[in-house]
Amino acid sequence: MKELVVATTNKDKIREIKNILKGLGVKVLTPDEFGASPRIVENGKTFKDNASKKARIISRLTGKLAIADDSGLIVDALGGRPGVRSSRFAGEKAAYAENNAKLLRLLKNVPAGKRKACFVCVIAIAKDGKVLKTVKGMASGKIAFEPSGKSGFGYDPVFIDPKYGRTFAELGPEIKNKISHRYRALMKAKQALKKLL
């Protein structure tokens, strides 16, 4: 079976990516399985910069085809923040709840009609340290006034999908993994991976 390394140590992302890539006929591996989990500094200005850097490094270290995801939340009322700093919004080692709390605090006085946001996911595919392709997926919605829902991770408890009128955390993986930014990016990546594999 062909092998694909997902360039992340985030267990939530690994689980979601494996779930979405089912049926591709590949064995999805993690850098840990190669003893190759370097701390990669995500200092790019864009999601594409960060995804490309991670994919390049892990593909070179493992000698395998690698994919890396960089994703985040763009909130109109905050001028596009948290953006590429989404996972570090409340500090370098901030927990999901801390990032959500900071976001809601900053949006405290912003009315319902001005809480537009979108999730962005960029996936880079690399081999032997060279990026072969990058793809992007987006999901539009708005920010809730308080967290709701038990599933998902990151900003899922505060991100409301317009079609369902519920947060990603309330929708659960069965629905979220068919409409999310990561799903949309991975569907594009899947087409490229079929050719590359």
Query: Which residue among 70, 128, 156, 161 is the active-site one?
Result: 70
Closest CA to 63 of 33, 22, 39, 41: 33
The dihedral of CA 10, 175, 89, 67: what is its sign? positive
φ, ψ for residue 82, nearest 5 deg: -75, -20
Is 49 a known active-site residue?
A: no
3 state SS for 22-63: CCCCEEEECHHHHCCCCCCCCCCCCHHHHHHHHHHHHHHHHC
Residues taking part in catalysis:
70
